[in-house]
Amino acid sequence: MLDKNPRDRELLKKLYFEMLRIRRVEEKLTEWCNSGLIKAPVHLSIGQEAVAVGVMAALKPQDKIVSTHRCHGHYLAKGGDLKKMMAEILGKATGCCKGKGGTMHLFDDSAGHVISAPLVGASISFAVGLALSFKMKGEDKIAVTFFGDGAVEEGIFWESINFASVHRLPVLFVCENNLYATHSHILKRQPSENIAERVKPHGVNICRIDDANNILRVVEVATSMVDLVRKNQPCFIEACTYRLKEHWGVGEDWHLGYRSREEGEKWMAKCPFKQLQKVFDEEDIPQSEIVEMEKIIKKEINEAVEFAVKSPQLEVKNGQRPSQADYL
152-163: pLDDT as tens digits: 999 999 999 999
User: For the segment 113-150, what is each residue's pLDDT rounded down to a tens digit?
Assistant: 998 988 888 899 999 999 999 999 999 999 999 999 99
User: For the segment 38-48, what is each residue's pLDDT rounded down to a tens digit?
Assistant: 878 899 999 99
3-state helix, strand and coil shares in percent for the chain, rounded to the nearest 5: 50, 10, 40
At 39 the three-state DSSP class reads coil
User: CA-to-CA distance for 55 and 173, rounded, in angstroms?
Assistant: 11
pTM: 0.92
Q: What is the pLDDT of residue 83?
A: 97
b (16+ CB within 10 A) / e for 187-203: eeebeebbbbeebeeee
The domain limits of the chain are 6-180+191-242+259-304
**Quick check: 4 pLDDT over 80?**
no
**How open is the CA angle 7-8-12, to the nearest 5 degrees?**
120
* Structural class in CATH, domain 6-180+191-242+259-304: alpha beta
